[in-house]
Amino acid sequence: MVSQPEIAPAPSVSVVPVTSVAPVTPIAPVTPIAPVTPIAPVTPAAPIDPAGLARSLRPFGESLMLPRAAYVDPAIFSWEQKHFFDGGWSCVGFSAELANPGDQRAVPVGPGSVLLSRDDDGNLGAFANTCRHRGHELLPCGGSAQRPSIVCPYHSWTFELDGGLKTAKGFKGTPGFDDSQWGLIRLPVTEWHGLIFVDGSGKATPMEPALAELDELVAPYEPERLVIAGRHSYDAAANWKILTENYHECYHCPMIHPELCKVSPPRSGENYRPSGPWVGGWMDLREGMDTMSLDGSSLGVPLRGLDATGLRTVIYVNMFPNVLLSLHPDYVMTHRLTPLAVDRTLIECTWAFAPEALDKPGFDPGYAVDFWDITNRQDWGACESVQRGLSSQHAVPGPLSPDEDAVYQFVTQVARGYAGQPPWRQPATTQPAEAAAVS
Ligand code: FES
Ligand SMILES: [Fe+2]
């Protein structure tokens, strides 16, 4: 996603002129970007050089990348796990993975994990994955179950699907023991277009209002209606921010993505200027290309809610901190990032198509999956090299090109977060209640 046409692409790639396509929404393009207005910290600041952060927060065109410690220092990683991934809304999976009453899953969130469960009324609950007896995990992180109650595997305390304590073996009639005091610790949870988000802190600003602009972009694609037909997991030896920064620019595309450049001009499109905790932009498809695939053809069906512009463009957005949504004319690709260490990230990638596409005889999602699997691996290779490069004690933050304005937006989100203003904790008129035990 680029917005400055004056830098020529690498000469080895043939780039056709950009087709004139109107922006997808009236949201203004990003340049010029104003300097960040200081606001009071709401969390402890990260243990990182404030002068380096100030350089990252300079106006676009004058700023530098984040201090090197942001990519290599385990202390910064620990701070991020607490204040970014467990300090506000983060994506923990898909509604379709908990479709039925009794479905349960435990997913990592920050340094710990969260238990998700669907109750008999179809409501989704999120709970700290720690038993109220002596703290055993209710499910192993990454595990799933399908049963009518939540059962701790240690001493078999049993909880209702809505988190209330059902039975505590041996406690019946014990003086002073009140079942209502020992329900699971409930956390805020929201389903948004088929994605599940949990606020691990219980203190984040409400999610839907912060995403109102993004909702306008995403709603026509109806991701909640689509069916996941392809999945890949990648274990990348790179910091999660390097992966996200890479996602936000196509400055690198002529160098490492020959297949992508054949179907989408790498310097096409614009970036949005969102007011919420997301960053993104759109790019064109070349004339004659229907979607992002190796030959530009689609073996699916166009998504029914799209207008003429939506059928000629691809939207790329990142919702802070861990989900990348890539909206195509005929499918939606989602990358969900789970940081494993300061230099290692799990990436779960899915491809979802209209149900009508899956009904086509012999439908094969490979046209989309294979294209992006090739492109993903090219990206991870570059990101892993950046990680190795930044391990040098001589690495220092560099400047951003005019084509990297969305990287600037992401970097400033992170830098403000390090200064005590994480994106989901920025000034709210009202704060939701603290996480509370189910009673
Ligand atoms: S720790 Fe769960 S029943 Fe004892
Ligand atoms: Fe890329």
Q: What is the pLDDT of residues 8-29, one digit of tens each?
A: 333 333 333 333 333 434 344 4
End-to-end CA distance of the chain: 48
What Å distances lie between residue 213 and 109, 184, 421, CA to CA?
26, 34, 21
Residue range 169-177: mean pLDDT, rounded:
93
Per-residue pLDDT band for 101 (boundaries 50, 70, 90) equals: very high
Q: Which of 130, 133, 184 to mutate to test the pocket of ligand 1 (most atoms within 8 A of CB)?
A: 133
Q: How far, in Å, is the centroid of ligand 1 from the Cα of 134?
A: 5
Which residue has the CA at smallest separation from atom 3 of ligand 1? 155
Which residue has the CA at smallest separation from atom 4 of ligand 1? 155
> Which ligand neighbours the alpha carbon of 246 most closely?
2
Q: Indicate if the pLDDT at residue 32 is higher than 50.
A: no
Task: Report the atom number in ligand 1 closest to the C-alpha of 134.
Answer: 1
**Positive/negative CA dihedral, 352, 349, 189, 429:** negative
Helix axes 405-418, 240-247, angle to 10 degrees: 150
Of 30-44, 151-165, 248-262, 313-327, the one with minimum mean pLDDT is 30-44
Task: Report the atom number in ligand 1 closest to the C-alpha of 131.
Answer: 2
Residue 223's nearest CA partner among 317, 312, 146 is 317
Q: Which of 115, 127, 130, 131 to mutate to test the pocket of ligand 1 (most atoms within 8 A of CB)?
A: 131
Q: How far, in Å, is the centroid of ligand 1 from the Cα of 138?
A: 8
Task: Report the atom number in ligand 1 closest to the C-alpha of 156.
Answer: 3
Q: Which of 152, 166, 171 to mutate to test the pocket of ligand 1 (most atoms within 8 A of CB)?
A: 152
CA distance 184 to 152: 11
Q: How far, in Å, is the centroid of ligand 1 from the Cα of 147?
A: 18
Which residue has the CA at smallest separation from atom 1 of ligand 1? 134
CA distance 178 to 149: 19
Residue 204's nearest CA partner among 121, 118, 109, 106 is 109
Q: How far, in Å, is the centroid of ligand 1 from the Cα of 252?
A: 51
Q: How far, in Å, is the centroid of ligand 2 from the Cα of 421?
A: 29
Per-residue pLDDT band for 427 (boundaries 50, 70, 90) equals: low
pLDDT digits (tens, 9 = 90+) for 273-286: 988 999 999 999 99
CA distance 229 to 358: 8
What Å distances lie between residue 340 and 22, 97, 143, 343, 388, CA to CA?
40, 22, 17, 8, 17
Q: How far, in Å, is the centroid of ligand 1 from the Cα of 130?
A: 9
pLDDT digits (tens, 9 = 90+) for 351-368: 999 999 999 999 999 999
Q: Which of 157, 166, 169, 171 to mutate to test the pocket of ligand 1 (most atoms within 8 A of CB)?
A: 157
Which pLDDT score is estimated for 37? Answer: 52
Q: How far, in Å, is the centroid of ligand 1 from the Cα of 169?
A: 10
pLDDT digits (tens, 9 = 90+) for 378-401: 999 999 999 999 999 999 999 999
pLDDT digits (tens, 9 = 90+) for 214-248: 999 999 999 999 999 999 999 999 999 999 999 99
**Separation of CA 371 from chain center:** 21
Which pLDDT score is estimated for 18? Answer: 33
pLDDT digits (tens, 9 = 90+) for 293-331: 999 999 999 999 999 999 999 999 999 999 999 999 999
Indicate the DSSP class of residue 374.
H
> Which ligand neighbours the alpha carbon of 168 most closely?
1
The three-class DSSP label of residue 106 is strand
Task: Report the atom number in ligand 1 closest to the C-alpha of 135.
Answer: 1
Which pLDDT score is estimated for 425? Answer: 82
Ligand 1 shell residues, CB under 6 Å:
131, 133-136, 152, 154-157
What is the residue-wise DSSP string for 47-59? SS-HHHHHHHTSP
Residue range 254-258: mean pLDDT, rounded:
97
Q: How far, in Å, is the centroid of ligand 1 from the Cα of 112?
A: 17
pTM: 0.88
Q: How far, in Å, is the centroid of ligand 2 from the Cα of 251?
A: 9
Q: Which two tokens stand for residue 170?
A: 């041996």
- For the chain, the average pLDDT equals 90
Q: Indicate if the pLDDT at residue 7 is higher than 80.
A: no
Residue 420's nearest CA partner among 31, 40, 18, 75 is 40
Could you tell me which residues come within 8 angstroms of residue 413 by beta carbon, excluding any fewer than 6 positions away? 277, 279, 320, 423
